[in-house]
Amino acid sequence: MQSENIPIAFILGFCAMVFILIGCWSAMRRDPMHFWAGTTVPPEAIRDIPAYNRACARMWWGYGAAWVLTAVCALFYAGSAGVLTMAIAVGGLPVLIFIYGRIYKKYKR
């Protein structure tokens, strides 16, 4: 572990915390969790709101876990952490969109 890698690991850990907290917020919501900024999912559109919110929470927790892995990697291998960060940031968004689409289709009325 190199001390010059600690700031980047801290920033990546903060990113992980944000996504994990979004997952926690999703798990605790009574209304359906939304994915897109500025939109809402009407309760009438979802047949099992608690299960839908748990599925959304698991999606965000998984994305947060990928950021935790990157933060830990940054402590030891800064170059690899940079590659992982780009892969998760650029490649992760289409994966999240795909997963959310499957969740929505599964729980919509």
Q: What one-character DSSP code corresponds to residue 47?
A: S
Domain encompassing residue 95: 3-107
Question: What is this structure's pTM?
Answer: 0.90
* Average pLDDT in the chain: 93
Q: How many domains does the structure of the chain reveal?
A: 1
Beta carbons of 12 and 81 less than 8 angstroms apart: yes
What is the average per-residue pLDDT within 54-60?
97
Check whether 56 has a pLDDT greater than 90. yes
Predicted pLDDT at 36: 87
What is the average per-residue pLDDT within 31-55?
93
In the chain, % of residues over pLDDT 90:
82
Q: 29 by DSSP, 3-state: which?
A: coil
Residue burial 9-24, b: 16+ Cβ < 10 Å; e: rest: beebbebbeebbebbe
Check whether 1 has a pLDDT greater than 90. no
Give me the helices (H) in 3-77, please.
6-28, 49-76
Instruction: Tell me phi and psi for residue 33, to 5 degrees.
Output: -70, 140
